[in-house]
A and B are shown apart, each in its own frame.
Chain A
Amino acid sequence: MQELQDSNPNAALAMKCTVQKDKLADAVNRVMKAISSKTTIPILTGVKITSGRDGITLTGSNSDISIQTFIPLEEDGNENAVVHTPGQIVLPSRLFSELVRKLQDEDVHIEVDSRFIAKITSGATEFSLNGLDPEEYPNLPIINGSDAFRIRKDLLKDMIKQTVYAVSVTETRPVLTGVKWMINDGKLSCVATDSHRLAQRSVSVENGEDSGTHTLVIPGSSLNELSKILDDDDEQLVDIIMTTNQILFKSNNVQFYSRLLDGNYPDTSRLIPTESKTTIDLGTKDLYRAIERASLLAKEERNNVVKLRAEGNQVEISSQSLELGRVFETLVPEHFEGDPLRISFSAKFMMDALGKLDAQSVRIHFVGPMRPIIIRPIGDENILMLILPIRTF
């Protein structure tokens, strides 16, 4: 048998296809975001390639997230790929992604035999790689729920950017490492907090009305990766499908699966003050830069403390370090209302929050020196950033 197969390669052929190098490199690059070299399931260090009748699918997974990219045979009248023999193979991902990037010719030919040996040729270059049995690759979660909605890609990316920075990076309360998504009445509300600051944003979504009320907690790390693989054709819509323990994002030729976090997300709404004793409007960039300068000194001290003093229609930002000295800066607010106030907070937290806002000006609400500070961009009521002050003894 062995001899017969060797003398007749076609009989042993498990997969054969030809792909445009750029398309392949792009697709591999995206699935690589899900692949980790530190995994307890060895086959997950590989990338799975499936050649089918409509095109070629690449899959990468680390069991928390899985990414699938699809290269259609034809797109906008251009030929991307040709499948001679449908089939599948798992190849070592890091090596494969690197060699694809370094190939010189426009086309890449992949030929796999029944012993999982892949011959990759491009121009005059020929690689032979030992692959793994694709039957051993775990199945992706099957998601065919009807709980779905759609959102514009640029909006989704903004939402992620404006909330995910506030998730907790420690595992003290695991559920806080995720962003809470609540879909209700055609509206998606996202909240993230590490208990020292909080970010919240809501948007309208399409088809959301049908899906009823859903609350789910998506790991912050998943959303960060998702944001990286979504390209920039802003107008496009992303389909989002939810199940009890998985969420699937479908955009164009990319599918992104993430597991959800267990546990009850705390109700933060009752912790956010609704009154305001001092309200100040300031230019976002002016304030950001003033805090940035003050933090030059604050960095050296614990907790990165800067002080804000609002009085007589002036805002003074200051900080000091025992070793280095002091810094004072005065800002004139566009609007000032309420009581004079002194408050201390982390320069880093304030800069993190301000840096995520596109609005020219922000409105800051203070309730007291030891109560949450609320920052809202002027002109967008759907965004709220909150930071807790620092208490000095």
Chain B
Amino acid sequence: MANARVIFHVDMNSFYASVEIANHPELRGKPLAIAGKAEERHGIVVTSSYEARKMGVRTTMTVREAKQKCPQLIVRHPDFSLYRRTSEQLFTMLKDYTNLVEKASIDEGYLDVSHWIHRRHPLNLANEIQSRIREELHLPCSIGIAPNKFLAKMASNRKKPMGITVIRKRDLPQTLWPLPIGKMHGVGPKTEEKFSLAGIKTIGDLAARNPDAIERKYGINGRRLHDFANGWDVRPVDPDSWDRYKSIGHSMTLSHDTVDLKMIYETMQQLAGKLEMKLKREHVASYELVVMIRYHDWKTITRHKSTMQPLRSRQEILNLAFSVFQANWSGEAVRLLGITLASFQAISESTKQLDLFSYQNDIQTEELVDLIDRINDQFGENTLLPATRLLNKKRSESPDSGC
């Protein structure tokens, strides 16, 4: 009993739409969709209110499709700075209850409330958190209560909006196992198909399989899913995971140990190119770089460098990485090189101090930036956004988070 854990998973219900409604009460009870570039017909619904969902509106529909399903649909542009501010308020509030709060995304998080159970019933505590969020932020959420993170996540998904669901281990045969395998957190369409072909149709089917056979066939991830299906999940609630996750790196072993600067430069160029692609995919800029040098004798050094200027392009990454290399290289033969980027900021929020010797390169986008500023000035902040901000937002939302 001593190490029994109580984990809450707090999941905001259709977060973006709910935040809009909280800030614009006239929208309450109406079908609302948040969509990018709605004036163009290809605008895509990023989220919608429950009223809109009842009419058949779904995330990733085009605005036109959504309007066919629901002619009275109100379409709003996203205001990400507002959503982010609201999210910060939410997590600050959750930290009133415990320091063990793990932010899983902008609108969901885990709380380890084990230390509360001697004083308060978990249901009672969940009720208080849910009503506080309702009263102070005017936002609905669902809370899952379980002995671990996986089950808590599955529980919060059971009842939306404004649900509180408990899953105990002994309930698994009734609550979890009958569910189709595709409903399991961590099982995407591809895995679902693979399982399906192997005759695994429900979570219960997976739980009943031989774990070693699963691991042989589906690897370590299959083994993990098998554990989850049986209600085993020992992952701690980790308050730092949100920040720690934020680093990307690549390394490359050279074809032979070398002191040839040209070869070192070209290797770093390749690494920087890969990192540039990742940055572009994540729509972030980096403000910290780590260079790793492994010498012929496996002696390895890593050196950090923070920067005021965002790193975005291959050339920017390469220049900084190579200067860090040169400043720290002992002159011995190099076996492996690595570059890691950290301290990310969404491109939409990053800023760049222009440079006297290169500002003329940045000027190319000046007219556009100026135009966006003027329009936002006239019609309100975030009327026009670079498409990267919309992409950025879609990525931060997992397809099954239901917000």
Contact = CB atoms under 8 A, between A and B. Distances in A.
Interface in A371-393: 371-372, 386, 388-393
B345 A196 contact: no
Interface in B332-354: 345, 347-354
B235 to A, nearest CB: 29
Interface string A291-305: 000000000001101
Contact of B347 (A172, A305, A371, A393): A393
B88 A198 contact: no
Interface string B356-392: 1101001101100110011001000000001010000
A322 B349 CA distance: 10
Nearest to B308: A303
A196 B356 contact: yes
A266 interface: yes
Given A346-B353, A371-B359, A393 B386 contact: yes
Nearest to B287: A302
A372 B386 contact: no
B81 interface: yes
B351 A322 contact: no
B327 to A, nearest CB: 9
Of A197, A342, A389, A393, the most chain B CB neighbours within 10 A belong to A393
Interface in B154-195: none
Contact of B355 (A195, A305, A371, A386): A195
B88 A196 contact: no
A369 B371 CA distance: 11
Given A196-B355, A302-B287, A393 B370 contact: no
A195 B351 contact: no
Nearest to A320: B81
A69 interface: no
A323 B386 CA distance: 23
Nearest to B355: A195
Contacts of A346: 353
Interface residues of B, number: 31
A266 B358 CA distance: 13
Contact of A303 (B81, B353, B355): B353
Contact of A322 (B85, B347, B357, B373): B85
A268 B373 contact: no
A369 B370 contact: yes
B370 A344 contact: no
A370 B287 contact: no
B341 to A, nearest CB: 16
B353 A390 contact: yes
Contacts of B369: 369-370, 391-392
Given A302-B287, A370-B363, A372-B359, A390 B81 contact: no
Contacts of B356: 193, 195-198, 268, 271, 372, 386, 388
A55 interface: no
A134 interface: no
Nearest to A272: B356
Contact of A391 (B287, B351, B357): B351
Nearest to B347: A393
A390 B88 CA distance: 26
A333 interface: no
B359 A370 contact: yes
Nearest to B81: A322
B334 to A, nearest CB: 23
Contacts of B287: 302
Given A303-B308, A388-B359, A393 B354 contact: no
B209 interface: no
A368 B370 contact: yes
A326 to B, nearest CB: 11
Contacts of B388: 393
A369 B364 CA distance: 12
Nearest to A370: B366
B323 interface: yes
Contacts of B85: 322
Nearest to B377: A342
Contact of A388 (B345, B354, B374, B377): B354
Contacts of A197: 356
B84 interface: yes
A303 B351 contact: yes
Contacts of A371: 359, 363, 366
A106 to B, nearest CB: 53
B167 to A, nearest CB: 36
B366 A369 contact: yes
Contacts of B365: 370
B357 A271 contact: yes
B119 to A, nearest CB: 32
18 contacts: A172-B323, A196-B353, A196-B354, A197-B356, A271-B356, A271-B357, A302-B351, A305-B351, A322-B84, A323-B88, A342-B374, A368-B363, A368-B366, A368-B370, A369-B369, A369-B370, A370-B354, A371-B363
- For the complex of A and B, the 6 pairs showing the least CB-CB separation, nearest first, are A388-B354, A370-B366, A391-B352, A303-B351, A342-B373, A390-B351
Interface of A: 172, 193, 195-198, 266, 268, 271, 302-303, 305, 309, 322-323, 342, 344, 346, 368-372, 386, 388-393
Interface of B: 81, 84-85, 88, 287, 308, 323, 345, 347-357, 359, 362-363, 365-366, 369-370, 373-374, 377, 386, 388
